[in-house]
Amino acid sequence: MSTPSAAPKASKTKLRMAQAIGFSSCLVAGFLNVPEWSHTPLIALAIGAFTYAGFLSIKSDKAQKEWQVKQPDYVDPYKGSPAYPHRHEEAALIVGIFSFMAFVYLALPMRDRALSSNDLWVLLPLLLMIASFGYARRISKKYSAARNAWRESQQAGDTAQK
């Protein structure tokens, strides 16, 4: 019988810092009066920070999966449960974040004047953002329902064995 080892530590501080830098640079570019030349570098900084946060989460997920494979069966009570669709959810979240940044980038030159009927195309990234965040939420809800059904079937099997 093998003994379990310690789980890999995720770099949560790096992830939170990258997310905070991304959100703050989006907020500074979108809502504060900063020089015109600084908008593009701020948005590029936000894209870089969110991309780095995505890579950190993928790296953490990969290390967690490798760790779980090496562990004995009794360590993971959810062994055999439906796999969480991380890549699909993260892709939807990344598309949502990038579409929000595209909206900020496209709407910045128009903030001094009113939105006219010729400028309504600028709202398309917002629709894409809403759709992609909704898709990510739908993935999460479907997974939660599948895992709950799996857990209930496991509990029903345990009570039938007793």
Q: Is 152 helix (H, G, I), strand (E, B) or coil?
A: helix
Domain of 36 in residue numbering reads as 12-151
pTM to 2 decimal places: 0.58
User: Which amino acid is it at 65?
Assistant: K
Residue 65 lies in a domain: yes
Specify the number of domains making up the chain.
1
Residue 4 lies in a domain: no
Q: What distance in Å separates the CA atoms of residue 152 and residue 68, rounded to the nearest whole number?
A: 22
Residue 145 lies in a domain: yes
Eight-state DSSP code of residue 2: P
Residue 159 lies in a domain: no
* DSSP result, 62-80: HHHHHHHHHS-TTT-TTTT
Burial of residue 141 (number of CB atoms within 10 Å: 0-12, 13-18, 19+): exposed
Residue with tokens 């029903």: 156
Residue 1 lies in a domain: no
Per-residue pLDDT of the chain (162 residues), as tens digits, is 466 677 777 788 898 999 999 999 988 887 788 888 888 899 899 999 999 998 998 888 888 888 877 877 676 677 777 787 878 888 999 999 889 888 888 887 777 777 777 778 888 999 999 999 999 999 999 998 988 888 888 877 766 666
Q: What distance in Å separates the CA atoms of residue 105 and residue 113, rounded to the nearest whole number?
A: 15
* DSSP result, 76-139: -TTTTSPPP-HHHHHHHHHHHHHHHHHHHHHHGGGTTS---GGGGGGGHHHHHHHHHHHHHHHH
